[in-house]
Amino acid sequence: MMRLPKFDYRAPRTIAEAVKIVGDVGPTAQFVAGGTDLYPNMKRRQQTPRTVVSVMRVPELNQITGDGSSGIRIGASVTLTDICENEIINRDYPVIAQAARTISTPILRNMGTIGGNLLLDTRCNYYDQNFEWRKGINFCLKKDGDVCWVAPGSSKCWAVQSSDLVPVMVAIGAKFRLASTLGERIIDAGGFYNDDGIDYLKKRPDELLVDIQLPPLNGWRASYQKLRRRGAFDFPVLGVAAWIQTEDKAGTGSSSDRVVSVKNARIVLGGIAPSPIEVTEAGDALIGQAFDDDHIQAAAEAAYTKARPLDNTDFVMNWRKQMTRQYTLRALEALRAA
């Protein structure tokens, strides 16, 4: 049986109190919300904070405010179950609820939070093992070792970013608000993630993710498709988020003949690299074009070409690359049918 190491547990009631505790304790302190990622990592000795600061009792982090016309703010400690069941999110931002429903299981969604999923530790077949297993292979570059067993000749860790909500947030242009004893800052989701399995967030350890700011609905729609072995519980080994803005244009026939044209588009891949990958070529294949079979196929081919999955998660990596084409098609076809 894997047991948690000893640690001090603190439960502040305000953001100011939470960031002060971490600021005073220093790098041996860590924030936690639902703990569905941190506590298993602590049992495996992948993360070993001496002070754990729970933010689940901070009221501001448990609120959802706004709507689609003005944009929504979601507190980082809002549970995934609340995301799935929230009436406004389901009405105005259904892609967020859709992606959240694919995460883990109902019981764990009752505990896990939106902030936790956005800050999820990167994953790898060589890293996500107990301490004794990792010791048996002389550990790995991400924790306690000096070799990346995925690519032994590489100086970079290739552990994979495996959040379902991250590619969606990047695609729709969400923003994150962070707080520390030094003040607050807001960062675009697209600029928040590093392409490095160890240093995977542009976030200091003393910073607390306060809320997620979703942009107003301005004629855009988004969808998400997830590849995994089982229909529940599993992390994505490929996630495709598609975001589009469309407009009607006059066709070549009568004045009543209208063609749906793509004004703007983004395709973001998750689960295949240490950070989400926006495939600009896929968006470019759609922008300014009719939203039809030919251009959807062209976008899917561009996503397939850019995908470079490695042998560090479930399924054969070449098959995961092939599935990039199919899952991009599914994501775009779901938007066309909406």
pLDDT digits (tens, 9 = 90+) for 170-220: 999 999 999 999 999 999 999 999 999 999 999 999 999 999 999 999 999
Residue keyed to tokens 């959040």: 163
Task: Decide the pairing of beta strands 175-180 and 183-188.
Answer: antiparallel
pLDDT in tens, 54-108: 999 999 999 999 999 999 999 999 999 999 999 999 999 999 999 999 999 999 9
Question: Of 107, 105, 334, whose CA–CA distance to 230 is shortest?
Answer: 105
pLDDT in tens, 234-259: 999 999 999 999 998 766 555 456 68
pLDDT in tens, 153-162: 999 999 999 9
- DSSP structure class, residue 300: H
pLDDT at 155: 94
User: What are the start and end residues of each CATH 3.30.390.50 domain in the chain?
Assistant: 220-337
Q: Are 283 and 240 in contact (CB under 8 A)?
A: no
- For the chain, the distance separating the N- and C-terminal CA atoms, rounded to the nearest angstrom, is 48
pLDDT at 250: 63
Give domain 59-123+159-214's CATH architecture.
Answer: 2-Layer Sandwich (3.30)
Q: Phi, psi at residue 243, to the nearest 5°?
A: -130, 130
C-alpha–C-alpha distance, residues 75 and 31, integer Å: 15
User: What are the start and end residues of each CATH 3.30.465.10 domain in the chain?
Assistant: 59-123+159-214
* CATH match of 220-337 with 3.30.390.50: yes
Beta strands in the chain (DSSP E): 8-10, 29-32, 51-54, 64-67, 71-75, 175-180, 183-188, 208-214, 220-227, 238-250, 258-270, 277-278
What are 67's strand-pairing partners? 71
C-alpha–C-alpha distance, residues 211 and 73, integer Å: 6
Report the SS3 class of residue 161.
Answer: coil
